[in-house]
Chain A
Amino acid sequence: MLALLWKDLQIEFRTKETLASLLMLGLLTLLILSFAFDPMSELRGEAAPAVLWVALIFAGVLGINRSFLTERENECLQGVLLCPVDRGSIYLAKVVGNVIFMVTAQLIVGPIFVFFFNLPLSWALARLIPIVLLGLIGFAAVGSLFAAISVRTRAREVMLPLLLLPMVVPVLIGGVKASARVLAGKALGDVSQWLNLLLGFDALFLVVGWLVFEYAVEE
Protein backbone atom coordinates (compact mmCIF):
# COMPACT_ATOMS: atom_id res chain seq x y z
CA MET A 1 0.00 0.00 0.00
CA LEU A 2 2.81 2.39 0.73
CA ALA A 3 4.17 1.85 -2.74
CA LEU A 4 0.82 2.91 -4.16
CA LEU A 5 0.71 5.98 -1.99
CA TRP A 6 4.25 6.92 -2.87
CA LYS A 7 3.47 6.55 -6.56
CA ASP A 8 0.52 8.94 -6.29
CA LEU A 9 2.62 11.43 -4.36
CA GLN A 10 5.39 11.15 -6.92
CA ILE A 11 3.01 11.90 -9.75
CA GLU A 12 1.70 14.85 -7.86
CA PHE A 13 5.16 16.27 -7.20
CA ARG A 14 5.82 16.04 -10.88
CA THR A 15 2.64 17.56 -12.23
CA LYS A 16 1.06 19.39 -9.30
CA GLU A 17 -2.18 19.24 -11.19
CA THR A 18 -4.34 18.04 -8.38
CA LEU A 19 -2.96 20.48 -5.87
CA ALA A 20 -3.32 23.34 -8.29
CA SER A 21 -6.95 22.58 -9.01
CA LEU A 22 -7.76 22.06 -5.35
CA LEU A 23 -6.12 25.33 -4.47
CA MET A 24 -7.60 27.39 -7.25
CA LEU A 25 -11.08 26.03 -6.94
CA GLY A 26 -10.99 26.43 -3.18
CA LEU A 27 -9.92 30.04 -3.46
CA LEU A 28 -12.40 30.85 -6.19
CA THR A 29 -15.27 29.31 -4.29
CA LEU A 30 -14.20 31.25 -1.23
CA LEU A 31 -14.18 34.43 -3.24
CA ILE A 32 -17.55 33.90 -4.83
CA LEU A 33 -19.15 32.98 -1.56
CA SER A 34 -17.62 36.02 0.05
CA PHE A 35 -19.46 38.16 -2.44
CA ALA A 36 -22.60 36.23 -1.77
CA PHE A 37 -22.32 36.49 1.99
CA ASP A 38 -20.50 39.76 2.62
CA PRO A 39 -17.80 38.99 5.16
CA MET A 40 -17.96 42.47 6.61
CA SER A 41 -21.54 42.24 7.73
CA GLU A 42 -22.77 41.01 11.08
CA LEU A 43 -23.81 37.73 9.55
CA ARG A 44 -20.24 36.76 8.94
CA GLY A 45 -20.10 34.69 12.07
CA GLU A 46 -22.96 32.57 10.87
CA ALA A 47 -21.90 32.38 7.27
CA ALA A 48 -18.25 31.62 7.88
CA PRO A 49 -18.45 27.90 8.66
CA ALA A 50 -20.86 27.37 5.78
CA VAL A 51 -18.51 29.08 3.37
CA LEU A 52 -15.58 27.07 4.62
CA TRP A 53 -17.29 23.75 4.09
CA VAL A 54 -18.81 24.59 0.75
CA ALA A 55 -15.37 25.57 -0.50
CA LEU A 56 -13.90 22.36 0.90
CA ILE A 57 -16.49 20.21 -0.75
CA PHE A 58 -16.52 21.81 -4.16
CA ALA A 59 -12.77 21.74 -4.38
CA GLY A 60 -12.66 18.27 -2.93
CA VAL A 61 -14.97 16.82 -5.53
CA LEU A 62 -12.69 17.99 -8.28
CA GLY A 63 -9.55 16.87 -6.53
CA ILE A 64 -10.82 13.36 -5.92
CA ASN A 65 -12.00 13.11 -9.49
CA ARG A 66 -8.49 13.95 -10.67
CA SER A 67 -6.94 11.28 -8.53
CA PHE A 68 -8.60 8.63 -10.63
CA LEU A 69 -8.13 10.37 -13.92
CA THR A 70 -4.43 9.66 -13.67
CA GLU A 71 -5.24 5.98 -13.66
CA ARG A 72 -7.23 6.25 -16.85
CA GLU A 73 -4.36 7.11 -19.14
CA ASN A 74 -2.76 3.97 -20.51
CA GLU A 75 -5.23 2.02 -18.42
CA CYS A 76 -2.82 2.14 -15.50
CA LEU A 77 -5.45 0.93 -13.10
CA GLN A 78 -5.40 -2.39 -14.90
CA GLY A 79 -1.65 -2.49 -14.49
CA VAL A 80 -2.14 -2.06 -10.78
CA LEU A 81 -4.85 -4.72 -10.75
CA LEU A 82 -2.34 -7.14 -12.20
CA CYS A 83 -0.20 -6.85 -9.09
CA PRO A 84 -0.54 -9.31 -6.25
CA VAL A 85 -2.20 -6.72 -4.12
CA ASP A 86 -5.47 -6.69 -2.28
CA ARG A 87 -8.09 -4.43 -3.89
CA GLY A 88 -8.87 -2.91 -0.55
CA SER A 89 -5.28 -1.69 -0.23
CA ILE A 90 -5.60 0.15 -3.50
CA TYR A 91 -8.64 1.88 -2.08
CA LEU A 92 -6.97 2.85 1.16
CA ALA A 93 -3.95 4.21 -0.67
CA LYS A 94 -6.24 6.40 -2.73
CA VAL A 95 -8.12 7.62 0.31
CA VAL A 96 -4.95 8.53 2.17
CA GLY A 97 -3.55 10.22 -0.91
CA ASN A 98 -6.70 12.27 -1.37
CA VAL A 99 -6.75 13.31 2.28
CA ILE A 100 -3.14 14.42 2.04
CA PHE A 101 -3.86 16.49 -1.05
CA MET A 102 -6.95 18.10 0.44
CA VAL A 103 -5.20 18.88 3.70
CA THR A 104 -2.28 20.40 1.85
CA ALA A 105 -4.58 22.62 -0.14
CA GLN A 106 -6.35 23.61 3.06
CA LEU A 107 -3.08 24.77 4.56
CA ILE A 108 -3.28 27.64 2.15
CA VAL A 109 -6.98 28.10 1.69
CA GLY A 110 -7.60 27.97 5.43
CA PRO A 111 -5.57 31.02 6.42
CA ILE A 112 -7.03 32.96 3.50
CA PHE A 113 -10.45 32.05 4.76
CA VAL A 114 -9.50 33.46 8.14
CA PHE A 115 -8.31 36.70 6.56
CA PHE A 116 -11.36 37.16 4.38
CA PHE A 117 -13.76 36.67 7.21
CA ASN A 118 -11.71 38.58 9.74
CA LEU A 119 -11.85 35.84 12.26
CA PRO A 120 -9.92 36.46 15.44
CA LEU A 121 -6.78 34.39 15.79
CA SER A 122 -7.68 32.37 18.80
CA TRP A 123 -7.67 28.82 19.98
CA ALA A 124 -11.01 28.42 18.28
CA LEU A 125 -9.20 28.13 15.01
CA ALA A 126 -7.03 25.34 16.32
CA ARG A 127 -10.14 23.46 17.36
CA LEU A 128 -11.34 23.63 13.79
CA ILE A 129 -8.50 21.42 12.69
CA PRO A 130 -9.73 18.06 14.00
CA ILE A 131 -13.22 18.82 12.71
CA VAL A 132 -11.99 19.58 9.23
CA LEU A 133 -9.72 16.57 9.29
CA LEU A 134 -12.49 14.17 10.24
CA GLY A 135 -14.73 15.69 7.61
CA LEU A 136 -12.14 15.37 4.89
CA ILE A 137 -11.48 11.76 5.77
CA GLY A 138 -15.15 10.87 5.48
CA PHE A 139 -15.41 12.83 2.28
CA ALA A 140 -12.41 11.06 0.80
CA ALA A 141 -13.65 7.67 1.95
CA VAL A 142 -16.88 7.89 0.00
CA GLY A 143 -15.43 10.04 -2.74
CA SER A 144 -12.60 7.69 -3.63
CA LEU A 145 -15.03 4.84 -4.03
CA PHE A 146 -17.39 6.79 -6.22
CA ALA A 147 -14.63 8.42 -8.23
CA ALA A 148 -13.41 4.98 -9.28
CA ILE A 149 -16.88 4.41 -10.67
CA SER A 150 -17.54 7.80 -12.16
CA VAL A 151 -14.36 8.09 -14.21
CA ARG A 152 -15.48 5.05 -16.15
CA THR A 153 -18.86 6.52 -17.09
CA ARG A 154 -19.79 8.75 -19.96
CA ALA A 155 -20.76 11.84 -18.03
CA ARG A 156 -17.51 11.91 -16.08
CA GLU A 157 -17.31 15.32 -14.50
CA VAL A 158 -20.97 15.46 -13.68
CA MET A 159 -21.23 11.95 -12.32
CA LEU A 160 -19.07 12.30 -9.26
CA PRO A 161 -20.82 15.27 -7.64
CA LEU A 162 -24.15 13.69 -8.50
CA LEU A 163 -23.24 10.50 -6.69
CA LEU A 164 -21.20 11.96 -3.92
CA LEU A 165 -22.99 15.04 -2.65
CA PRO A 166 -26.17 13.42 -1.36
CA MET A 167 -24.06 10.83 0.41
CA VAL A 168 -21.86 13.27 2.27
CA VAL A 169 -24.71 15.32 3.72
CA PRO A 170 -23.90 14.01 7.22
CA VAL A 171 -20.35 15.26 6.84
CA LEU A 172 -21.57 18.64 5.77
CA ILE A 173 -24.08 18.89 8.58
CA GLY A 174 -21.66 17.65 11.21
CA GLY A 175 -18.83 19.78 9.92
CA VAL A 176 -20.78 23.01 9.69
CA LYS A 177 -22.51 22.61 13.02
CA ALA A 178 -19.35 21.72 14.85
CA SER A 179 -17.38 24.49 13.17
CA ALA A 180 -20.02 27.06 14.00
CA ARG A 181 -20.01 26.20 17.68
CA VAL A 182 -16.27 26.09 17.90
CA LEU A 183 -15.91 29.44 16.19
CA ALA A 184 -18.40 30.83 18.66
CA GLY A 185 -15.97 29.92 21.37
CA LYS A 186 -17.15 26.55 22.56
CA ALA A 187 -14.76 23.78 23.50
CA LEU A 188 -14.41 20.55 21.58
CA GLY A 189 -16.25 18.72 24.30
CA ASP A 190 -19.39 20.68 23.46
CA VAL A 191 -19.48 19.41 19.95
CA SER A 192 -18.83 15.82 20.83
CA GLN A 193 -22.12 14.77 19.31
CA TRP A 194 -21.08 16.05 15.91
CA LEU A 195 -17.59 14.69 16.29
CA ASN A 196 -19.03 11.30 17.01
CA LEU A 197 -21.17 11.57 13.92
CA LEU A 198 -18.14 12.36 11.80
CA LEU A 199 -16.07 9.66 13.43
CA GLY A 200 -18.79 7.08 12.93
CA PHE A 201 -19.27 8.13 9.35
CA ASP A 202 -15.55 7.89 8.64
CA ALA A 203 -15.13 4.49 10.24
CA LEU A 204 -18.23 3.04 8.61
CA PHE A 205 -17.47 4.17 5.12
CA LEU A 206 -13.82 3.31 5.24
CA VAL A 207 -14.88 -0.23 5.99
CA VAL A 208 -17.66 -0.29 3.40
CA GLY A 209 -15.35 1.22 0.78
CA TRP A 210 -12.61 -1.23 1.59
CA LEU A 211 -15.00 -4.14 1.17
CA VAL A 212 -16.77 -2.95 -1.92
CA PHE A 213 -13.97 -1.33 -3.91
CA GLU A 214 -13.17 -4.43 -5.89
CA TYR A 215 -16.60 -4.35 -7.48
CA ALA A 216 -16.12 -0.77 -8.46
CA VAL A 217 -12.88 -1.45 -10.17
CA GLU A 218 -12.93 -4.86 -11.83
CA GLU A 219 -14.62 -5.71 -15.07
Chain B
Amino acid sequence: MAMASRWGDWVLGAVAGPTMLAAIYMVFVYVPTDSAQGIVQRIFYFHVPAAIMTFVAFGLVALASAMFLWRGTRFWDRLAHSAAEVGMLFCTLVLVTGPIWARPIWGTWWTWDARLTTTLILWLIYAAYLMLREFAGNADQAARYAAVLGIVGSVDIPIINRAVYWWRTIHPAVLVTREGGSGLGDPRMQATLLVSFVAFAALLFWLLWVRNESARLHDEIERLHQRLIVEHGHSR
Protein backbone atom coordinates (compact mmCIF):
# COMPACT_ATOMS: atom_id res chain seq x y z
CA MET B 1 0.00 0.00 0.00
CA ALA B 2 2.79 2.35 0.86
CA MET B 3 4.49 1.49 -2.38
CA ALA B 4 1.42 2.33 -4.41
CA SER B 5 1.14 5.62 -2.57
CA ARG B 6 4.69 6.61 -3.33
CA TRP B 7 4.41 5.40 -6.86
CA GLY B 8 1.30 7.46 -7.50
CA ASP B 9 2.89 10.49 -5.96
CA TRP B 10 6.02 10.27 -8.08
CA VAL B 11 4.37 9.41 -11.35
CA LEU B 12 1.75 12.11 -11.12
CA GLY B 13 4.27 14.56 -9.84
CA ALA B 14 6.60 13.65 -12.65
CA VAL B 15 3.88 14.44 -15.12
CA ALA B 16 2.64 17.58 -13.43
CA GLY B 17 6.00 19.19 -12.79
CA PRO B 18 7.50 19.19 -16.26
CA THR B 19 4.25 19.95 -18.04
CA MET B 20 3.65 22.91 -15.78
CA LEU B 21 7.18 24.13 -16.41
CA ALA B 22 6.62 23.69 -20.11
CA ALA B 23 3.37 25.58 -19.88
CA ILE B 24 4.98 28.44 -18.01
CA TYR B 25 7.72 28.65 -20.55
CA MET B 26 5.27 28.65 -23.40
CA VAL B 27 3.04 31.24 -21.84
CA PHE B 28 5.80 33.66 -21.03
CA VAL B 29 8.28 33.09 -23.80
CA TYR B 30 6.97 31.06 -26.63
CA VAL B 31 3.55 32.36 -27.46
CA PRO B 32 3.29 35.67 -29.30
CA THR B 33 1.69 38.61 -27.63
CA ASP B 34 -1.89 39.06 -28.58
CA SER B 35 -2.22 42.09 -30.81
CA ALA B 36 -5.51 43.24 -29.39
CA GLN B 37 -5.05 42.74 -25.69
CA GLY B 38 -1.36 42.94 -25.06
CA ILE B 39 0.73 41.10 -22.55
CA VAL B 40 -2.06 40.72 -20.03
CA GLN B 41 -3.79 38.30 -22.34
CA ARG B 42 -1.28 35.67 -21.29
CA ILE B 43 -3.22 35.19 -18.13
CA PHE B 44 -5.87 33.60 -20.28
CA TYR B 45 -3.71 30.50 -20.61
CA PHE B 46 -3.83 29.99 -16.87
CA HIS B 47 -7.28 31.30 -16.24
CA VAL B 48 -9.19 29.09 -18.63
CA PRO B 49 -7.65 25.71 -17.75
CA ALA B 50 -7.98 26.51 -14.08
CA ALA B 51 -11.64 27.28 -14.63
CA ILE B 52 -12.22 24.04 -16.44
CA MET B 53 -10.41 22.10 -13.74
CA THR B 54 -12.41 23.63 -10.95
CA PHE B 55 -15.60 22.44 -12.57
CA VAL B 56 -14.09 19.03 -13.17
CA ALA B 57 -13.20 18.91 -9.50
CA PHE B 58 -16.73 19.80 -8.54
CA GLY B 59 -18.05 17.11 -10.82
CA LEU B 60 -15.81 14.75 -8.93
CA VAL B 61 -17.18 15.99 -5.64
CA ALA B 62 -20.71 15.34 -6.88
CA LEU B 63 -19.89 11.88 -8.13
CA ALA B 64 -18.00 10.87 -4.99
CA SER B 65 -20.81 12.26 -2.83
CA ALA B 66 -23.41 10.21 -4.62
CA MET B 67 -21.27 7.09 -4.42
CA PHE B 68 -20.67 7.71 -0.75
CA LEU B 69 -24.35 7.95 0.03
CA TRP B 70 -24.98 4.84 -1.97
CA ARG B 71 -22.08 2.70 -0.83
CA GLY B 72 -21.00 4.22 2.45
CA THR B 73 -17.31 3.43 2.21
CA ARG B 74 -14.79 5.94 3.51
CA PHE B 75 -12.97 5.89 0.20
CA TRP B 76 -15.65 7.96 -1.53
CA ASP B 77 -15.90 10.38 1.33
CA ARG B 78 -12.16 11.03 1.32
CA LEU B 79 -12.26 11.49 -2.41
CA ALA B 80 -15.07 14.01 -2.17
CA HIS B 81 -13.26 15.95 0.51
CA SER B 82 -9.98 16.01 -1.38
CA ALA B 83 -11.68 17.02 -4.59
CA ALA B 84 -13.43 19.85 -2.79
CA GLU B 85 -10.24 21.22 -1.33
CA VAL B 86 -8.32 21.03 -4.57
CA GLY B 87 -11.27 22.43 -6.49
CA MET B 88 -11.50 25.32 -4.09
CA LEU B 89 -7.87 26.08 -4.75
CA PHE B 90 -8.39 26.23 -8.49
CA CYS B 91 -11.56 28.24 -8.06
CA THR B 92 -9.72 30.86 -6.06
CA LEU B 93 -7.13 30.98 -8.79
CA VAL B 94 -9.79 31.64 -11.40
CA LEU B 95 -11.40 34.39 -9.36
CA VAL B 96 -8.06 36.07 -8.78
CA THR B 97 -6.79 35.87 -12.34
CA GLY B 98 -10.11 37.00 -13.75
CA PRO B 99 -10.07 40.53 -12.38
CA ILE B 100 -6.34 40.88 -13.08
CA TRP B 101 -7.13 40.20 -16.67
CA ALA B 102 -10.31 42.22 -16.81
CA ARG B 103 -9.02 45.44 -15.38
CA PRO B 104 -6.57 46.47 -18.08
CA ILE B 105 -8.74 45.15 -20.89
CA TRP B 106 -12.16 46.44 -19.96
CA GLY B 107 -11.43 48.92 -17.25
CA THR B 108 -13.42 47.17 -14.55
CA TRP B 109 -12.37 44.70 -11.88
CA TRP B 110 -15.38 42.58 -12.14
CA THR B 111 -17.70 41.76 -14.95
CA TRP B 112 -20.95 40.15 -14.03
CA ASP B 113 -20.87 37.83 -16.93
CA ALA B 114 -22.36 34.39 -16.67
CA ARG B 115 -19.24 32.32 -16.35
CA LEU B 116 -17.41 34.45 -13.84
CA THR B 117 -20.49 34.85 -11.71
CA THR B 118 -21.19 31.15 -11.75
CA THR B 119 -17.62 30.55 -10.70
CA LEU B 120 -18.08 32.96 -7.84
CA ILE B 121 -21.13 31.08 -6.65
CA LEU B 122 -19.25 27.84 -7.07
CA TRP B 123 -16.58 29.28 -4.81
CA LEU B 124 -19.23 30.04 -2.22
CA ILE B 125 -20.56 26.52 -2.46
CA TYR B 126 -17.07 25.12 -2.04
CA ALA B 127 -16.62 27.33 0.99
CA ALA B 128 -19.93 26.18 2.42
CA TYR B 129 -18.92 22.57 1.81
CA LEU B 130 -15.62 22.94 3.62
CA MET B 131 -17.18 24.87 6.47
CA LEU B 132 -19.88 22.26 6.84
CA ARG B 133 -17.27 19.56 7.16
CA GLU B 134 -15.54 21.66 9.75
CA PHE B 135 -18.59 22.44 11.83
CA ALA B 136 -20.64 19.28 11.68
CA GLY B 137 -20.75 17.29 14.89
CA ASN B 138 -18.74 14.19 14.22
CA ALA B 139 -16.91 12.70 11.30
CA ASP B 140 -19.74 10.44 10.14
CA GLN B 141 -22.28 13.22 10.16
CA ALA B 142 -19.86 15.60 8.50
CA ALA B 143 -19.33 13.11 5.71
CA ARG B 144 -23.00 12.55 5.14
CA TYR B 145 -24.06 16.19 5.29
CA ALA B 146 -21.24 17.21 2.99
CA ALA B 147 -22.33 14.53 0.55
CA VAL B 148 -25.87 15.91 0.55
CA LEU B 149 -24.50 19.37 -0.09
CA GLY B 150 -22.30 18.05 -2.87
CA ILE B 151 -25.21 16.46 -4.65
CA VAL B 152 -27.59 19.38 -4.27
CA GLY B 153 -24.85 21.77 -5.32
CA SER B 154 -24.03 19.87 -8.45
CA VAL B 155 -27.67 19.75 -9.48
CA ASP B 156 -27.93 23.45 -8.85
CA ILE B 157 -24.84 24.67 -10.70
CA PRO B 158 -26.29 24.20 -14.19
CA ILE B 159 -29.44 26.00 -13.13
CA ILE B 160 -27.46 28.81 -11.59
CA ASN B 161 -25.49 29.09 -14.78
CA ARG B 162 -28.66 29.34 -16.86
CA ALA B 163 -30.21 31.84 -14.53
CA VAL B 164 -27.17 34.09 -14.44
CA TYR B 165 -26.83 33.88 -18.20
CA TRP B 166 -30.40 35.00 -18.71
CA TRP B 167 -29.88 37.65 -16.10
CA ARG B 168 -27.06 39.17 -18.10
CA THR B 169 -28.42 38.83 -21.56
CA ILE B 170 -31.87 40.26 -21.00
CA HIS B 171 -30.21 43.54 -20.21
CA PRO B 172 -28.10 45.08 -22.95
CA ALA B 173 -24.57 44.03 -22.27
CA VAL B 174 -22.45 46.80 -20.91
CA LEU B 175 -19.28 45.08 -21.87
CA VAL B 176 -18.40 42.73 -24.58
CA THR B 177 -18.18 39.55 -22.62
CA ARG B 178 -16.43 37.16 -24.86
CA GLU B 179 -13.55 36.18 -22.68
CA GLY B 180 -11.35 34.89 -25.35
CA GLY B 181 -11.37 32.48 -28.17
CA SER B 182 -11.96 35.04 -30.83
CA GLY B 183 -8.30 35.71 -31.36
CA LEU B 184 -6.74 32.28 -31.18
CA GLY B 185 -5.81 32.19 -34.79
CA ASP B 186 -2.12 31.69 -34.26
CA PRO B 187 -1.31 27.99 -33.89
CA ARG B 188 1.25 28.84 -31.24
CA MET B 189 -1.57 30.17 -29.11
CA GLN B 190 -3.54 27.01 -29.56
CA ALA B 191 -0.54 24.90 -28.68
CA THR B 192 0.12 26.93 -25.57
CA LEU B 193 -3.44 26.58 -24.47
CA LEU B 194 -3.31 22.88 -25.00
CA VAL B 195 -0.11 22.42 -23.06
CA SER B 196 -1.42 24.59 -20.27
CA PHE B 197 -4.58 22.55 -20.20
CA VAL B 198 -2.63 19.34 -19.87
CA ALA B 199 -0.42 20.87 -17.21
CA PHE B 200 -3.40 21.95 -15.15
CA ALA B 201 -5.07 18.61 -15.52
CA ALA B 202 -1.91 16.90 -14.34
CA LEU B 203 -1.67 19.33 -11.46
CA LEU B 204 -5.27 18.60 -10.51
CA PHE B 205 -4.73 14.89 -10.38
CA TRP B 206 -1.46 15.13 -8.58
CA LEU B 207 -2.84 17.42 -5.89
CA LEU B 208 -5.89 15.20 -5.65
CA TRP B 209 -3.72 12.17 -5.17
CA VAL B 210 -1.53 13.78 -2.53
CA ARG B 211 -4.51 15.14 -0.63
CA ASN B 212 -6.36 11.86 -0.82
CA GLU B 213 -3.37 9.94 0.43
CA SER B 214 -3.03 12.37 3.28
CA ALA B 215 -6.65 11.74 4.23
CA ARG B 216 -6.24 8.01 3.95
CA LEU B 217 -3.18 8.00 6.17
CA HIS B 218 -5.00 10.19 8.65
CA ASP B 219 -7.83 7.69 8.84
CA GLU B 220 -5.33 4.87 9.23
CA ILE B 221 -3.64 6.62 12.13
CA GLU B 222 -7.02 7.25 13.77
CA ARG B 223 -7.87 3.60 13.51
CA LEU B 224 -4.59 2.44 14.98
CA HIS B 225 -4.88 5.02 17.72
CA GLN B 226 -8.30 3.69 18.65
CA ARG B 227 -7.03 0.16 18.77
CA LEU B 228 -4.21 1.28 21.00
CA ILE B 229 -6.62 2.89 23.40
CA VAL B 230 -8.80 -0.19 23.54
CA GLU B 231 -5.92 -2.50 24.18
CA HIS B 232 -4.05 -0.44 26.72
CA GLY B 233 -6.71 1.26 28.71
CA HIS B 234 -9.45 3.79 28.27
CA SER B 235 -8.46 7.37 28.79
CA ARG B 236 -11.17 7.70 31.45
* Direct touch of chains A and B (CB < 8 A): yes
- Main SS of chain B's interface residues? helix
Interface string of B208-233 (1 = CB under 8 A from A): 00000000000000000000000000
Q: Which of B75-106 contact A (CB under 8 A)?
A: none
Q: Given the complex of chains A and B, what is the CA–CA distance between A200 and B163 in angstroms? A: 11
The answer to whether A169 and B137 have CB atoms under 8 Å apart is no
Which A residues touch B144, using CB under 8 A? 215-216
* 15 additional A-B residue pairs with CB within 8 Å, beyond A205-B155, A215-B144: A152-B137, A152-B141, A155-B135, A159-B131, A166-B121, A166-B124, A167-B125, A169-B164, A170-B156, A194-B166, A197-B162, A205-B156, A208-B151, A215-B147, A215-B148
Interface centre among B128, B163, B167, by most chain A C-beta atoms within 10 angstroms, is B163
Residue ID in chain A nearest B149 by CB atoms: A163
Q: Is A187 an interface residue (CB 8 A)?
A: no
Q: Is A14 an interface residue (CB 8 A)?
A: no
The 4 A-B residue pairs with the shortest CB-CB distance in the complex, in nearest-first order: A170-B163, A166-B124, A155-B135, A173-B163
Q: Given the complex of chains A and B, what is the CA–CA distance between A142 and B152 in angstroms? A: 8
Which B residues touch A173, using CB under 8 A? 163-164, 166-167
How many chain A residues have a CB neighbour from B under 8 Å? 31
- Main SS of chain A's interface residues? helix
The answer to whether B166 and A197 have CB atoms under 8 Å apart is yes
Q: Given the complex of chains A and B, what is the CA–CA distance between A163 and B153 in angstroms? A: 9
Q: Is B44 an interface residue (CB 8 A)?
A: no
The answer to whether A177 and B167 have CB atoms under 8 Å apart is yes
The answer to whether B69 and A215 have CB atoms under 8 Å apart is yes
Chain B, interface size: which category?
20 to 34
The answer to whether A219 and B141 have CB atoms under 8 Å apart is yes
Q: Given the complex of chains A and B, what is the CA–CA distance between A169 and B167 in angstroms? A: 11
Q: Which of B139-161 contact A (CB under 8 A)?
A: 140-141, 144-145, 147-149, 151-153, 155-156, 159-160
Q: A81 CB to closest chain B CB, in angstroms?
A: 15
